[in-house]
Structure 1
Amino acid sequence: MKTKKISSNVKSSKKKTHPFWSFFWLTFLFVSLWYAWYSFYAPSNNIVWENNIESAQKLASNSDKNIMIFFTAEWCSPCRIMKRQVFADKEVTKAISEKVVTVEIDMDDPNAKALVKQYNIGATPTTIFINPQGKVMDYAVGKVEKAKFLEMLLSI
């Protein structure tokens, strides 16, 4: 009985990828990294943010202004986009300084739990306009575009 010897010289065949795919994945990586950076980038602006509602109420009463409370979080990408597209705009900054005292509340701050519960905040960003006594005048849940924000701000 003859036994055939099977050759163990099996060549591993590596297919060379088409240059298109290398370009595609490199471009995909670049665009993904750029978008991640862009989503969390928020330029500085000239808005003075209070972080205490009591001091904001005193300041609003003394200056005959209402209060804008902006509920945000470090991880909130739409909040960052709103800060970049709305709050960094010069027209918005001017209107804010004339009309309201601004308060920025971090949803993850344990000291903010009472305020979050008081205004029944369930999502970020949430923008609430109140009078100095705390009565809600207008609000928006989610990212607000510049035109809508100015409309809300000028109507209070």
Structure 2
Amino acid sequence: MKILGTWLLASALVTFNFTGNEDNINHRPYISTNLAKVIMTEDEDTVEEKCDGSGWITHGDGHKTECPGCSACEDKVKPEPDPKPNSGCDCGCDKQECNCQESGQCFPLKEDVKKKESSQDFLISSDDPEFYIYHFGAKWCGPCEKMKQQTWASRRVKEAIEQKKAKLIIYDEDNPDHKKFFLYYKVKYYPTVIFLDHDNLENPVHRFSGFMDASKMVETIQEKLNDE
């Protein structure tokens, strides 16, 4: 009888153990070894990982992942987009989507040349020039600076320019106001020298690139600049 009572008590405890632990938890057994069983339960509250507003989440081990979009990103004020660049032409023709400077269709008028004379580097000038001599160069260009210091500074060259009633104008690549002249005349090599008739600036009388000494320059001026 005593043995029967003990057996009934043990059965009741076993039954209670199997039925009393039933609940709504989703048990997922994970066996790491043959000696242990771990019961994992899902967290009731999911913790949202937030970035610092930069769009990247820094994890505990230091690595970063791209933020899929959290409240911190949404709360951050987005910068205003940059305004669209002005599509008008800087040459003054007031055309939309104008590329006339690059294509050589926008010519710097004589009035524009006269307006900018006060800001140009004129070595030799005439009050009423019949010809223009354009020198295109840059300060970093050795031959360009050599021509300015030797060729254009030569007394013989100055006299030849004055005799032909010409005006020498130095254009520098670094000067924003000179860009349209470089573009229009399609200057690709430095130095480039162009001779122009005062009444026909569209069509150069003579053009050459490279250094030219004073003697050769005097000869070229006398040969190319004439009234014919």
- Name the counterpart of 2:54: none
Residue of structure 1 aligned with 2:156, choices 82, 91, 98: 91
Report SS of the residue matched to 1:136. Answer: coil
Contact 1:53/1:103 (8 A) holds in 2 = no
Letter in 1 for 2:221: L
CA distance in 2 between partners of 1:113 and 1:76 (Å): 17
Q: How does 1:39-78 map to 2 (within 5 A)?
A: 54-55=113-114, 63-78=128-143
| Higher Rg | 2
Contact kept, 8 Å, 1:72 with 1:79, in 2: the verdict is: yes
Paired residues for 1:124-143 under 5 Å = 124-132=190-198, 133-134=200-201, 135-143=203-211
1:61 Cα deviation after fit: 10
The aligned counterpart of 1:107 is 173
Deviations 1:8-38 (A, max 9, x none): xxxxxxxxxxxxxxxxxxxxxxxxxxxxxxx
Structure scoring higher RCO (CA < 8 A, sep ≥ 6) equals 1
Paired with 2:150 and 2:127, the residues of 1 have a C-alpha distance of: 30
Structure 1 stretches of 4+ with a deviation exceeding 6 A read none
Aligned pair partner of 1:121 in 187, 194, 198: 187
In the alignment, which residue of structure 1 is the partner of 2:96? Answer: none
Structure ranking higher in helix proportion: 1
Paired residue for 1:149? 217
Q: What is the CA distance between 1:105 and its match in structure 2?
A: 0.6
Alignment of 1:3-22 (within 5 A): none
Note closer, same or farther for the CA distance 1:61–1:84 as it changes in structure 2 (3 Å cut): closer
* Shift of residue 64, structure 1, vs aligned partner: 4.9
Under a length normalisation based on structure 1, what TM-score does the superposition of the two structures give?
0.58
CA shift for structure 1 position 62: 7.0
Please say if residues 69 and 105 of structure 1, whose CA atoms lie closer than 8 Å, have aligned partners that are also in contact.
Answer: yes
